[in-house]
Structure 1
């Protein structure tokens, strides 16, 4: 039986997969991922928030 992947399961899979690759994800980063996936913020805003968190300059 074919199932359509929900945004929720796609985000959870992405988070688990990145953790398996050794990336550390804090709760605030996970919230940014969810907010971007659900359209609460744009991906550009999420990247900007991450850049600000790590004191990097956005391109």
Structure 2
């Protein structure tokens, strides 16, 4: 016979795990966005430097 308390505990644990996974996904997404922004800024500076050298 199925223990309803055990089932509720298992569901609670699964919900906590799902929440932890979602939180980790958000942190990864935020880190990737930050990295992308840094790369875009680096490329922008490189393009401006290249344009300056072409004009010289």
Return the TM-score normalized by structure 2.
Answer: 0.32
Greater helix percent: which structure? 2
Ranked by relative contact order (alpha carbons within 8 Å, sequence separation 6 or more), the top structure is 1
Q: Which has the larger radius of gyration?
A: 2
How high is the TM-score relative to the length of structure 1?
Answer: 0.30
